[in-house]
Amino acid sequence: MDKIYDVAIIGAGPGGYVAAIRASQLGLSACVVEKDTPGGICLNWGCIPSKSLIHQASEFAALADMEKLGIRVDRSGFQYGRVQAKSRDAAKTLARGVAGLLKKNKVDVLSAVGSIAAVGKVALKGGALDGKIVHAKNIILATGSRPLELSGFVIDETMVLSSTGILAMVELPKELVILGAGAIGCEFAHVMNAFGVKVTLVEMAGHILPSEDFEVAQVVDAAFRKAGIDILVGTKAVSWKTRNGRSAVSIDKGGQKSELCCDKMLAAFGRVPNTQGIGLEMVGVRLNGRGYIETGDYGQTNIPGIFAIGDITTSPALAHVASREGEIAVEFIAGRTPRPSKVPPDLVPSAVYCEPQVAGFGLREDGDKVNNRNVKKSVFPYRGAGKSVATGKTEGLVKILADVDTGEILGAHVVGLNATELIHELLLAKSSEMVVEDIAAMIHAHPTLSEAVMEAARGINDSPIHL
Minimum distance between the CB of residue 436 and a second copy, rounded to whole angstroms? 12
Within 273-332, the residues that bind a second copy by CB under 8 A are 318-321, 323-324, 327
Within 128-187, the residues that bind a second copy by CB under 8 A are none
Contact 48, 37 (CB under 8 A): no
337 forms part of the interface with a second copy (CB under 8 A): no
DSSP state of 212: S
Per CB under 8 A, the list member of 1, 3, 4, 93 interacting with a second copy is 93
Q: Which one, 250 or 394, has the nearer CB to a second copy?
A: 394
Secondary structure E strands in 203-288: 230-232, 236-243, 246-253, 256-262, 264-267, 271-273
Q: Which one, 247 or 295, has the nearer CB to a second copy?
A: 295
Q: Which one, 286 or 446, has the nearer CB to a second copy?
A: 446
Within 356-375, the residues that bind a second copy by CB under 8 A are 359
Q: Which one, 56 or 200, has the nearer CB to a second copy?
A: 56
Minimum distance between the CB of residue 440 and a second copy, rounded to whole angstroms? 10
Q: Which one, 105 or 250, has the nearer CB to a second copy?
A: 105
Contact 458, 467 (CB under 8 A): no
Q: Which stretch binds a second copy (CB under 8 A): 145-153, 154-162, 288-296, 413-421?
A: 413-421
CA–CA dist 282, 278 (Å, integer): 9
Residue 446 designated active-site: yes
How many residues are given for the chain? 467
271 forms part of the interface with a second copy (CB under 8 A): no
CA–CA dist 270, 300 (Å, integer): 25
CA–CA dist 58, 90 (Å, integer): 17
Instruction: Please return the burial class of 248, using the count of CB atoms within 10 Å of its CB with bins 0-12, 13-18 and 19+.
Output: middle
Instruction: Give the helix/strand (H/E) hosting 217.
Output: helix 214-226
207 forms part of the interface with a second copy (CB under 8 A): no
Q: Which stretch binds a second copy (CB under 8 A): 118-126, 367-375, 405-413, 458-466?
A: 458-466
- Angle, CA of 340, 344 and 347, to the nearest 5°: 105
Q: Which stretch binds a second copy (CB under 8 A): 28-36, 158-166, 244-252, 422-430?
A: 422-430
- Cβ neighbours of residue 81 closer than 8 Å, sequence gap 6 or more: 170, 171
Per CB under 8 A, the list member of 42, 161, 220, 266 interacting with a second copy is 42
Residues with a known catalytic role:
446
